[in-house]
């Protein structure tokens, strides 16, 4: 099981929280009574939900105890649930099921998303954001180094991420035309869009630190401390060729994300 370091993850909290804010802005709900944040992590996205709807009953769900410990320390009176979001089922219909940068770790979206949509109340919203950057150099180089280095036997088959599908595939999954949802009126409106953020990083080492907080976690978990150091050194070195320095010494790190807002 992948371990998560909340401190590492939150090193770039502004960049990681911005997509959640932009997803939140497109949710057409005035006063939901019940909302859940699936894959809430350290609670930074859950805080956004609570700020917009202070009267709603909101809970955060994650399978990482370390992440939830941080969330509980920040908001001890809120509801935090340690659970596998792949199999999570609500005990009652939800007005909002929200997930920011979490569902790309899970397979079988053609099954997962309809199951989540069917747990919405009438008028409820399923709102999802996922990275769709897995063919970018920063991600391809992780796989390349894992396959070519002295640790290739240890890291064989480690990659746990499941790159998001094409926008049209998500439309088919969530629309009645796609046939994945039994009840023809489950989803009334669907909004899908993509954004490529141009993140301005201080150095290529900063890109490595970003990836270390997410994509690299399953790989590093399998390595010894010495191997981790060697892997990261090689990774940071090759990043310099993929992401050249700008005249001011900084580095541009494009990062694409897909957004889905589906209302029942």
What CATH class has 6-263?
alpha beta
Task: Name the percent of the chain lying above pLDDT 70.
Answer: 90
pLDDT at 176: 64
- Of 63, 60, 70, residue with least CA distance to 36: 60
Say if residue 3's pLDDT is above 60.
Answer: no
- Of 151, 141, 147, residue with least CA distance to 222: 151
What mean pLDDT do residues 10-18 have? 72
pLDDT at 184: 45
pLDDT at 165: 96
Cβ atoms < 10 Å from Cβ of 251: 21
Q: Name, in order, each residue with C-beta under 8 angstroms of 162's C-beta and a sequence gap of 6 or more.
A: 104, 105, 106, 107, 109
Say if residue 76's pLDDT is above 50.
Answer: yes
Q: pTM of the full predicted structure?
A: 0.89
Question: Looking at residue 249, what DSSP letter applies?
Answer: S
Say if residue 101's pLDDT is above 60.
Answer: yes
pLDDT at 27: 98
The domain ranges of the chain are 6-263
What mean pLDDT do residues 163-168 have? 94
pLDDT (tens digit per residue) in 216-247: 888 998 999 999 999 999 999 999 999 999 99
What mean pLDDT do residues 56-78 have? 95
pLDDT at 191: 97
CA–CA dist 208, 235 (Å, integer) = 7
What mean pLDDT do residues 49-54 have? 97
What mean pLDDT do residues 112-126 have? 94
């Amino acid at each position: 099981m992948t371990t998560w370091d909340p401190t590492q993850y939150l090193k770039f909290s502004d960049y990681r929280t911005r997509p959640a804010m932009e997803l939140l802005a497109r949710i057409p709900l005035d006063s939901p009574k019940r909302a859940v944040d699936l894959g809430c992590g350290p609670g930074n996205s859950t805080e956004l939900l609570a700020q917009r709807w202070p009267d709603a009953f909101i809970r955060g769900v994650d399978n990482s105890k370390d992440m939830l410990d941080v969330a509980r320390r920040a908001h001890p009176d809120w509801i935090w649930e340690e659970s596998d979001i792949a199999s999570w089922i609500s005990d009652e219909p939800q007005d909002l099921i929200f997930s920011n940068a979490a569902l790309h770790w899970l397979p079988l979206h053609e099954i997962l998303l309809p199951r989540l949509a069917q747990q919405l109340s009438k008028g409820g919203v399923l709102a999802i954001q996922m990275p769709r950057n897995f063919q970018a150099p920063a991600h391809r180089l992780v796989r390349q180094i894992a396959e070519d280095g002295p640790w290739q036997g240890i890291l064989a088959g480690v990659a746990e991420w499941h790159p998001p599908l094409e926008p049209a595939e998500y439309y088919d999954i969530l629309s009645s035309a796609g046939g994945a949802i039994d009840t023809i009126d489950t989803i009334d409106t669907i909004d899908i869009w993509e954004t490529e953020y141009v993140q301005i990083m201080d150095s290529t080492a900063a890109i490595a630190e970003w990836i270390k907080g997410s994509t690299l976690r399953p790989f590093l978990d399998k390595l010894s401390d010495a191997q981790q150091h060697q892997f990261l050194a090689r990774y940071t070195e090759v990043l310099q060729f993929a992401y050249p320095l700008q005249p001011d010494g900084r580095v541009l790190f494009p990062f694409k994300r897909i957004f889905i807002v589906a209302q029942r």
